[in-house]
């Protein structure tokens, strides 16, 4: 398990929330921005970070507007591990 990647996601509420929302359905940056009530530039910056880590990918990469994003298999697996291994409300590791 990649604890650095888990830490990267859980250390930012917006990263964790974007990954969670994209796990439910494909979304645009505008849609994510409205849902999270976060400025579009923060959403775009975070999407870029998640793409670079290969946790999500853009379905309409050649477009400049109305880009759609979805979670990758790597992102789904990471999100599953986060839910299994950590208390997502505090970020603490679950103990047996």
Task: Summarize pLDDT for 17-76 with one digit per residue, the tens.
Answer: 999 999 999 999 999 999 999 999 999 999 999 999 999 999 998 888 899 999 999 999
At 89 the pLDDT is 55
Q: Judge: domain 3-86, CATH 1.10.10.10.
A: yes
CB 12 within 8 A of CB 47: no
CB 28 within 8 A of CB 62: no
Q: Is residue 96 predicted with pLDDT exceeding 70?
A: no
54: left (phi over 0), alpha (psi -120 to 50) or beta: left
């Amino acid at each position: 398990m990649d604890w650095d990647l888990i830490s990267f996601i859980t250390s930012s509420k917006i990263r964790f929330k974007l990954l969670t929302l994209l796990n439910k359905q494909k979304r645009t940056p505008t849609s994510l921005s409205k849902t999270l009530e976060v400025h579009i530039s923060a959403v775009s910056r975070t999407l870029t970070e998640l793409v670079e880590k290969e946790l999500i990918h853009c379905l309409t990469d050649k477009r400049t507007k109305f880009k759609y994003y979805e979670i990758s298999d790597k992102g789904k697996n990471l999100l599953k591990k986060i839910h299994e291994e950590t208390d997502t409300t505090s970020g603490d590791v679950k103990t047996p």
